[in-house]
Structure 1
Amino acid sequence: MRILLLSAYSAQSHQSWCDNLLKMFPEHDWQLLTLPGRYFNWRIRGNALSWGVGQRGILEQSYDRVIATSMVDCATLRGLVPKLSTIPWTVYFHENQFAYPVSVGNDHTEPKMVSLYNALCADQLVFNTDYNYQTFITGLGKFLKKMPDEVPEDTLDIIIKKHTIISVPITINETKQIKNKGNPTPVLLWNHRWEYDKGPNQLDAFLNVLRQRDFMFKINLIGQKFRTIPKALLKIKKEFPNELLNYGFIQSKEDYKNILRQSDFILSTALHDFQGVAVLEAVASGCIPIVPNRLSYPEIFPERYQYQSESACLNIEAESMADKLISLDKKRINNELDLDDIDMAGFSVKNLKPLYADILFMS
């Protein structure tokens, strides 16, 4: 089968997903087109122009199927290159624009319309979590109700009939049993994209609560950085120099994996996470999760690893997060953690491959 794979915003998680598809199914003939993961507003509206005109020769070749990430402007691309409208399309939703926290005065109307038209024109829709799907449908319903007139009543029904849920595979090949790693002082890990939606302010508040309680810790503060670094992360670097083990982007994949293996707890302070691949990879490497009871986390992790979500009040949430960490760390030190309720095997490439095969390559 000849497959055209399109990723319009090739951030790390999207790039990893594409790489895994190619590795899982080498028997197929893949043509991959990507665009850099920057300039979000231009990318989500301009990718059809960049490819439909700039890569027209590639797009007009013969393919059996198109697989696209949800940031590809599928409807416009099919219009610019009519040959693409004659073959099946699968759109994979790593995230959705209806649940994304936006700044005041920016309602993301354009990205939302792209998502709507993608969902309508594709033959098949795949979401990485039920949380992603549910917030997409709920958010789209609210969005359509704001439109002044002429919204077909069956719009949501058309979309609902075409969806399924398959997670993004975790990129660590071997899942490992979580255990006490022997660190006398707990080593914390925050390994997320360095942007506001990953909760850097929440992290700063949490670390300050730990300091106020005289709780000793070390931390690996790593992740993908951009031109503008959130002030909270710069503040942490200045105020916690003795606690920081690693700070910034880790270039080497092996070094990154070693940091995950050496850490005791993986922290999420996210305001926006539709699966939390960085957290899953860390847990698969032996980290104990400390996650909020929001987003996709309640469908992935048992309640005892969740702290109370109070994203509108940093101090209350930071206190709850500190309570959770200190409680679990006592059990870690005393080897009292029974972690049989955490199993990442279901997210492995090995176990997800048959699901992808059934969905993506069915006739």
Structure 2
Amino acid sequence: MKALLLSAYAAASHRYWARSLIEHLSEIDWTLLELAPRHFQWRMRANPLLWSAYSHETLSRHFDLVVATSMVDLATLIGLYPHLGRAYRVVYFHENQFAYPIGSDQTFRPEPLMVNLYSALAADQVLFNSAWNRDSFLSGARGFLARMPDRLSPDALDRMAGDSAILPVPLEGAAARPAETRPARLIWNHRWEYDKNPEDFFTACRALAAEGIDFELVIMGQQFRRSPAVFEQAREEFASFIVCWGSQSRPEYLRQLSEGGIVVSTALHEFQGLAVMEAVQHGCLPLVPDRLCFPECYAPQYRYDGSIKALTEQLTQWLTVPTCRPIPPDISPWHWDELLPAYRDALLTRA
């Protein structure tokens, strides 16, 4: 079977998924086309044009299977290369634009939403990495259609939902033992952007420091040319607490996770939370807000109500009363060994 794998905005988690997909389904003859993760609005709208300019020969070949991320404008690409429409088409949603929070310096733009919608409708099957992702996409798309002057029926969405499935991005490797020797080392390992809500995390850290509670900080994650100002402020304010700061090589990133104690999320936008899952895999105890995808993945003892007050109180308890810390969650359902049969069914059996 010949398959075309398309990733229009190859951020770290998207590259990780694409490469592990190729590795674990090696019986498929894969061809991978990616675009670098920059100029988001242009990437979303212009990816068929870019690929037709730079990869015309590749796109002109025969493929039995086309797998595209949700940022790929699959409908337009099929219009440019009609023979791709005869392949079995799968769209994988790492995220959806209908649930993306708009920043204070951003304005609403319908184009990314339309790309998500058209790509989903152009697919034979749609895969989501979480139920939250699926549900927020369907709810957002229905609301979007209702805003249109022509009041389109959501029947097409209902049909698409019937052809969808939940299939998380799997984890590589075995689980590590819990990091019992460094429970006071707090990990924050997310993208340095506003939707990960770093302000709440550092506010909680400030409250812990004011109470004289002993802790250390490991601040990692993908950085961009422009990051929220809170990071530079925090680097100076918490200098005596920091043991690691900034982007790291993959081996060093994993080493820091294996030496961490508690991984914290304060996200306003999260569809699977791969960064938290990786930290848990390497022995960290998760503390995540009771919203978004997190209730699907973590039992109540690992969640707080989303407020800074609750986050600070839970961290205080875990840091000062070791007997109150729960045992780490079972992460075996997230491994490739568990998820590979479902991937084979979605991409091999049905194609």
The bucket for the TM-score relative to the shorter chain is over 0.9
Aligned match of 1:233: 231
Q: Is the 8 A contact 1:305 1:324 kept in 2?
A: no
Do the aligned partners of residues 283 and 153 (structure 1) sit closer, same or farther apart at CA in structure 2, a change above 3 Å counting? closer
Contact 1:188 1:266 (8 Å CA) reproduced: yes
Match of 1:324 in 2: 314
Matching residue's letter, 1:194: W
Equivalent residue number for residue 343 of structure 1: 330
**Quick one: which amino acid aligns to residue 132 of structure 1?**
N
Instruction: Give the conservation status (yes or no) of the 8 Å contact 1:102–1:108.
Output: no
Residue 64 of structure 2 corresponds to: 64
Contact 1:283 1:344 (C-alpha < 8 Å) held by counterparts: yes
Residue 48 of structure 1: aligned partner: 48
- Could you tell me which residue of structure 2 aligns to residue 182 of structure 1? 181
Match of 1:254 in 2: 251
Paired letter, 2:292: L
- 1:197 aligned partner: 195
In the alignment, structure 1 residue 358 sits paired with structure 2 residue 351: no
> Once structures 1 and 2 are overlaid, which stretch shifts more, 60-69 or 198-207?
198-207
1:131 corresponds to: 132
| Deviations 1:175-229, CA, capped at 9 Å, x for gaps | 1343x5223x700000011111111111221111112222121010011111012
Q: 1:165 is matched with which residue?
A: 166
Pair 1:337–1:211, CA change in 2 (3 A): closer
**SS of equivalent to 2:240:** coil
Contact 1:4–1:65 (CA under 8 A) maintained in structure 2: yes
SS at match of 1:170: coil
Q: Partner residue of 2:287? A: 290
* C-alpha distance after superposition, 1:33-77 (max 9, x if no partner): 000011110000010100123311100111110000000000000
Instruction: Identify the residue that residue 302 of structure 1 maps to in structure 2.
Output: 299
Pair 338,271 (structure 1): closer, same or farther in 2 beyond 3 Å? closer
- Three-state SS of the structure 2 residue aligned to 1:10 is coil
Match 2:215 to one of 214, 217, 233: 217
Name the SS of the counterpart of 2:97 in structure 1.
coil
Task: State how far apart, in whole Å, the 1-side matches of 2:34 and 2:67 are.
Answer: 12
User: How many Å apart are 1:130 and its aligned residue?
Assistant: 0.4
Q: Tell me which residue corresponds to 1:313.
A: none
- Deviation of 1:331 after TM superposition, in Å, equals 4.4
Q: Secondary structure at the match of 1:126?
A: strand
Contact kept? 2:198, 2:230, Cα under 8 Å = yes
Distance 1:170 1:107 in 2: 34
1:15 is displaced (CA, Å) by 0.3
Deviation at 1:153, TM superposition (A): 4.4
Give the CA deviation at 1:337. Answer: 4.0
1:144 equivalent in structure 2: 145
1:66–1:90 contact (8 Å) kept in structure 2: yes
- Partner-residue secondary structure (3-state), 1:290: strand
What whole-Å deviation, never above 9, does each CA across 1:225-264 have from its counterpart, x for those lacking one?
110121011111010111011111002x221111001000
For residue 75 of structure 1, what is the aligned residue in structure 2? 75
Q: Decide whether the 8 Å contact of 2:142 with 2:154 is kept in 1.
A: no
1:209–1:318 Cα contact (<8 Å) kept: no
Q: CA RMSD in A?
A: 1.4
Are 2:97 and 2:113, in contact at CA under 8 Å, matched by a contact in 1? yes
> Which amino acid is the alignment partner of residue 89 of structure 1?
R
Equivalents in 1 of 2:161, 2:290: separation in Å? 26
C-alpha distance in 2, partners of 1:110/1:226?
23
Equivalent AA in structure 1 for residue 346 of structure 2? I
User: Mind listing any 5+ residue stretches in structure 1 that lack a counterpart?
Assistant: 310-316
Mapped partners of 1:3, 1:237: distance in 2: 45
Cα distance in 2 between the residues matched to 1:143 and 1:6: 26
Aligned length: 349
Distance 2:266 2:326 in 1: 24
**Structure 2 residue matching 1:36: 3-state secondary structure:** coil
Q: Which runs of 4+ in 1 moved over 2 A?
A: 328-332
**Distance in 2 of aligned mates of 1:329 and 1:127:** 36
Distance 1:216 1:119, change over 3 A: same
Task: State TM-score, norm by structure 1.
Answer: 0.93
Match of 2:15 in 1: 15
How far apart, in 2, do the equivalents of 1:268 and 1:322 lie? Answer: 12
